[in-house]
């Protein structure tokens, strides 16, 4: 850490700003701050925290030398390495998904159009949101509130787009199973594109709500830390309860109804047809069941990766005195980002058409590389 920096310490358990207290508390040895409810943790140097009747005031220890005064967040190297690995896997893996759907006609279905939308959101997480998270982890940019809010809102937008893509997949599966005769009329590529345009626009607007005024006043230090500028009431009540939890509940109910109905249909067919149960209709139902199971697993992994961090946000807002261990915070943040990297592996494992498409791409790249190598060898011969 640069000794010329103005050093501030903020306790994770005392992250909420507006609390009532009459005592002054010092944290001389505390070095970590939870600054980003969605994406980032910062390590700051020792300082003091003063609490008054209605507000919490940060008192920084400032030492001025010939260097330019600034508050520097020390780099959490393991955390940053983990983020960069996730960014790389997320970008490469989801680009592979998009290429597979673009090259393989069998994969060009309405369901996969929505999965491509999910993959595009995950590509943006790896290539855009995680770099923004790392920058804001260091307090960058300074003295530019709206650019800071925009950078912090990127992951909110992309998460919301992912949720809407998953919701579109669930509704598409519902129509395929419960309205089979109307499916081809309703679920056309054109309608799918219109739905995607609408969901991305809506996700963009939801993510921009902090820029529209629902944010905290800019901090005097000018540093871009999530907890200093984004109102946690927005994160918990609006973003989590209304925009994340409600769609997730709807999706789980849709898949529950799909599984129960398909199971009853398979039992009824087996009872009525007996030995002839292995008919074309039964095979189709089993295929739909397998597809629904794979897509439900995508939803389940998304929920498992994101809910822990949102629950921590709820504790920090609703129970500011509840201690949250630092390793738990770091794990929740990394887990939420890691969700963007897991889907390509899931598709390869659970979906045969994707697995074949990935294999073809790798074999094609390998063949091109071998062909180039042979040409180079041939060109070197006398």
- Cα-Cα-Cα-Cα dihedral of 237, 239, 242, 244, to 10°? -130
Q: 């787009």: which residue's tokens?
A: 161
Contact 353, 103 (CB under 8 A): no
**DSSP 3-state assignment of 47?**
strand
**Global pTM value:** 0.78
Selection from 86, 90, 88, 94 nearest residue 115 by Cα = 94
**Rounded (10°) angle between helices 110-124 and 280-318:** 30
* Cα dist from 233 to 168, 173, 237, whole Å: 27, 34, 6
Selection from 374, 173, 163 nearest residue 289 by Cα = 173
Q: How far is Cα 116 from Cα 99, in angstroms, rounded to an integer?
A: 9
Contacts of 41 (CB under 8 A, 6+ apart): 32, 33, 34, 35, 76, 79, 137, 326, 329, 330, 333
| Domains of the chain and CATH, by start | 6-62 (no CATH), 77-357 (1.20.1070.10)
Q: Say what the pLDDT of residue 230 is.
A: 87
**DSSP 3-state assignment of 7?**
strand
Q: How many CA atoms lie within 13 A of 278 on its CB side?
A: 1
pLDDT tens for the chain, 382 residues long, are 344 333 333 333 333 333 333 333 333 333 344 444 444 433 333 333 333 333 333 333 333 333 333 444 457 888 889 999 999 999 999 999 999 999 999 999 999 999 999 999 999 999 999 998 888 878 888 888 889 999 989 989 999 999 999 999 999 999 999 998 999 999 999 999 999 999 999 999 999 999 898 998 888 888 888 778 889 999 999 999 999 999 999 999 999 999 999 988 888 877 776 655 556 667 778 888 889 999 999 999 999 999 999 999 999 899 988 888 877 888 898 999 999 999 999 999 999 999 999 999 988 877 666 665 666 665 555 5
């Amino acid at each position: 850490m640069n000794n010329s920096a103005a050093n501030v310490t903020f306790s994770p358990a005392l992250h909420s700003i507006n609390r009532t207290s009459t005592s002054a508390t010092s944290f001389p040895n505390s070095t970590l701050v939870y600054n980003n409810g969605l994406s980032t943790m910062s390590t700051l140097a020792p300082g003091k925290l003063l609490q008054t009747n209605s507000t919490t005031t940060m008192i920084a220890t400032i030492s001025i030398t010939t260097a330019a005064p600034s508050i520097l967040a020390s780099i959490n190297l393991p955390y940053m390495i983990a983020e960069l690995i996730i960014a790389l896997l997320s970008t490469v893996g989801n680009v592979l998904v998009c290429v597979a759907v673009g090259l393989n006609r069998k994969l060009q279905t309405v369901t996969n159009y929505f999965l491509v939308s999910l993959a595009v959101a995950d590509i943006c997480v790896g290539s855009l949101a995680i770099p923004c998270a790392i920058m804001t982890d260091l307090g960058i940019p300074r003295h530019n509130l709206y650019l800071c809010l925009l950078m912090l809102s990127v992951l909110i937008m992309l998460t919301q787009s992912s949720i809407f893509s998953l919701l579109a997949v669930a509704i598409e599966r519902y129509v395929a199973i419960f309205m089979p005769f109307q499916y081809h009329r309703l679920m056309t590529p054109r309608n799918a594109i219109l739905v995607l345009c609408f969901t991305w626009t809506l996700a963009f607007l939801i993510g921009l709500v902090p820029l529209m005024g629902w944010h905290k006043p800019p901090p005097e230090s000018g540093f871009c830390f999530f907890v200093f500028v984004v109102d946690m009431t927005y994160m918990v009540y609006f973003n989590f309860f209304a925009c994340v939890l409600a769609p997730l509940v709807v999706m789980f109910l849709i898949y529950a109804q799909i599984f129960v109905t398909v199971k009853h249909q398979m039992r009824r067919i087996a009872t009525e047809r007996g030995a002839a149960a292995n008919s074309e209709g039964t095979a189709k139902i089993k295929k739909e069941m397998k597809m629904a199971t794979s897509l439900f697993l995508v939803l389940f992994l998304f929920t498992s990766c994101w809910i822990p961090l949102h629950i921590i946000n709820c504790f920090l807002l609703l129970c500011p005195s509840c201690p949250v261990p630092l390793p738990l915070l770091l794990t929740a943040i990394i887990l939420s980002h890691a969700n963007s990297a897991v889907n390509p592996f899931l598709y390869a494992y659970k979906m045969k058409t994707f697995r074949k498409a990935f294999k073809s791409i790798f074999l094609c790249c390998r063949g091109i590389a071998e062909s180039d190598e042979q040409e180079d060898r041939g060109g070197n011969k006398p």
